[in-house]
Amino acid sequence: MRDDESGKRSKNGRSGSGSRAEARRATEEAILKAAETVFAEAGFGGATMQLIADMAGLPKANLHYYFATKEALYRRVVERIFTTWLEAADVFDEAVGPAEGIGAYIDAKMEISRSHPNGSKVWASEVMHGAPVIQDYLETTLRDWTEGRAKIIRRWIAQGQMADVDPHHLLYMLWATTQHYADFGHQIETLNGGKPLSDEQWEATKASVKGIVLRGIGVL
């Protein structure tokens, strides 16, 4: 059933040399990557530890050595995605005005949607199911982050740099629009003749999204 049958890998087939701790990190990384893919494609309920193990290239029992339970593994995957998004939002703060800040934020989130679609899908799935494992993050980190950005937007509005729109709904629109290209990527690809968006199309997409949004908030 396993996809390799060399039968004589020097150790575990990953990174021939390196310290013990490094090998462990590499294995965990491979598992997390495989898990993200499987969870994204099948959902939490549809994912199986066997499938994740196969994709990571190790026996199921070994997978359980690194991650005791399916829930624990899933939690780590979701936490990773959340962290990635938070880090990518720094562009927001460093901007001097809405055109630059929101434009750069759209660019950043769109890039993540293209390079990390599976993460976005896992997050969407988690939230759609009522956020059973990351509810605490929503109530603390995400809420703080959102309020912080809302304050910045309100300042821009007060300074007359953009139209008077509700900051929360603007943020929701940014999330919805950018993540849509990851979560509904399959639908978009189908409507694009069955082919993924080309590099040119992708640039046009970002420009189009930014154009509508920035014009929509009176910046342009």
Site residues (vs DNA, CB under 7 A): 2, 9-12, 19-21, 23-24, 27, 47-50, 58-62, 64-66, 68-71
29 binds, among DNA, a second copy, none (CB under 5 to 8 A by kind): none
Q: Among 71-79, 83-91, 99-107, 208-216, which window interacts with a second copy (CB under 8 A)?
A: 208-216
> How far, in Å, CA of 159 to CA of 53, rounded?
54
CB atoms within 10 A of CB 4: 8
Least distance from a second copy to the Cβ atom of residue 143, Å: 6
Residue with tokens 């929101």: 102
In a 13 Å sphere around the CA of 144, the CA atoms on its Cβ side amount to: 5
Q: Among 51-59, 66-74, 86-94, 183-191, which window interacts with a second copy (CB under 8 A)?
A: 183-191
CA distances to 42, 67, 156 from 178, rounded to whole Å, are 22, 32, 22
Window 31-70: residues binding a second copy (CB under 8 A): 40-47
The candidate with the shortest Cα–Cα distance to 110, out of 3, 183, 35, 23, is 183
Q: Among 6-14, 24-32, 55-63, 185-193, which window interacts with a second copy (CB under 8 A)?
A: 185-193
Residue with tokens 């021939």: 16
Window 126-145: residues binding a second copy (CB under 8 A): 127-131, 135, 138-139, 142-143
Contacts of 76 (CB under 8 A, 6+ apart): 32, 35, 67
Check binding of 71 to a second copy (CB under 8 A). no
Check binding of 8 to a second copy (CB under 8 A). no
